[in-house]
Structure 1
Amino acid sequence: MDIQTKAPSFLKAEAKKRFDEISKMLIDDNKWKSGDEIALAALCASYQHWIEAEKAIKKNGDLCFTTETGYRQQIPEISIANNAMKNMLSFIKEFALTPRERSKLKELILKEDEDSDTEMEEMIQK
């Protein structure tokens, strides 16, 4: 079965590139399931927001601004960057895109294989 995926049009170039790379990797590993494109689009949108917010923080040069009443307040881009990072990390774990998550996934698969062999052996013995 040939699975075709296309990055959503609302993503910018860098996020589309990530979408294409990750979807290809998941398809090549036979780990792509129907509906994954939604979660992957959300991951890549969060990535895009994080990149944009980090660029705005760098451009601003100051992490705070002074309000009309004289209070110092954190620039909104910091919250945007932090929320985008949290969202990315949760999706990254869902797709097992970190070395730790991949090793946990491998252990789970090996354990399932061992369990299925044990069940088969028990059935044969009965």
Structure 2
Amino acid sequence: MATRGRKPKPTAIKELEGNPGKRALNEKEPKPEKKAPRCPTWLEPEAKKEWKRLAKQLEHLGILTEVDMASFAGYCQAYARWKEAEEFISKHGTIVKTPSGYWQQVPQVSIAQTYMKAMNKFSEQFGLTPSSRSRLSIDNGSEAYDPMEKMLRVVDK
């Protein structure tokens, strides 16, 4: 059965956004440990580099958890394959002349576009795009991030 409407946002993302809709958060949502999963051994080398580049940062934000391995691996693998296709295009160009004399687009153009779309979908889930990140606000526990504390400091001066 198909569902309608927007996909619900994870509570961790809503909390980082400051719950702009002010709707009650799902108190019964499963809360996996905020710990990055181990990097899968089967990822391509470039995907492993991307995993290592982002995993700790997303773990620190509370976005990447132990149960997110498959989704994050999907992002990293899509990134690696997109990069490979883009490197091919940079080296060989986007079109080639066929043996019969016709000009044809190299398959890597559509491959790059396909993996870019997949990367973008995964990226939005983890707050990795500028627009999805702009809706997040990080509270690192210091009073500098407390709006009331900030306001009181201004009044005191």
- The TM-score with structure 2 as length reference comes to 0.57
Which one is further off, 1-10 or 15-24? 1-10
Question: What's 1:37 paired with?
Answer: 69
**Secondary structure at the counterpart of residue 96 of structure 1:** coil
**Secondary structure at the counterpart of residue 20 of structure 1:** helix
Amino acid at match of 1:88: M
Bigger helix fraction: 1
Amino acid at match of 1:11: L
CA distance in 2, matches of 1:44, 1:16: 7
Segments of structure 2 that go 5 or more residues without pairing to the other structure are: 1-32, 138-157
Residues 72/57 of structure 1: CA separation in 2 closer, same or farther (3 Å cut):
same
| Cα contact 2:40–2:73 (8 A) shared by 1 | yes
Instruction: Determine whether 1:23 maps to 2:23.
Output: no
**Secondary structure at the counterpart of residue 73 of structure 1:** strand
Q: Could you list the structure 1 runs, at least 4 aligned residues long, displaced by more than 6 angstroms after superposition.
A: none
CA distance in 1, matches of 2:76, 2:40: 10
Which one is further off, 88-97 or 18-27? 18-27
Question: What's 1:90 paired with?
Answer: 121
Amino acid at match of 2:132: E
RMSD of aligned residue pairs (Cα, Å): 2.2
**CA positional deviation for 1:34:** 4.3
Which one is further off, 71-80 or 32-41? 32-41
Equivalence map 1:1-126=2 (5 Å): 3=35, 5-60=37-92, 62-106=93-137
Number of aligned residues: 105
**CA positional deviation for 1:4:** 5.4
CA distance in 2, matches of 1:102, 1:39: 18
Residues 32/4 of structure 1: CA separation in 2 closer, same or farther (3 Å cut):
closer
Deviations 1:10-69 (A, max 9, x none): 323332122123221222222233431111101011110111111111221x32123344
**Secondary structure at the counterpart of residue 104 of structure 2:** strand
Amino acid at match of 1:50: W
Q: Higher RCO, 1 or 2 (CA under 8 Å, sep at least 6)?
A: 2
Segments of structure 1 that go 5 or more residues without pairing to the other structure are: 107-126
**CA positional deviation for 1:2:** 7.8
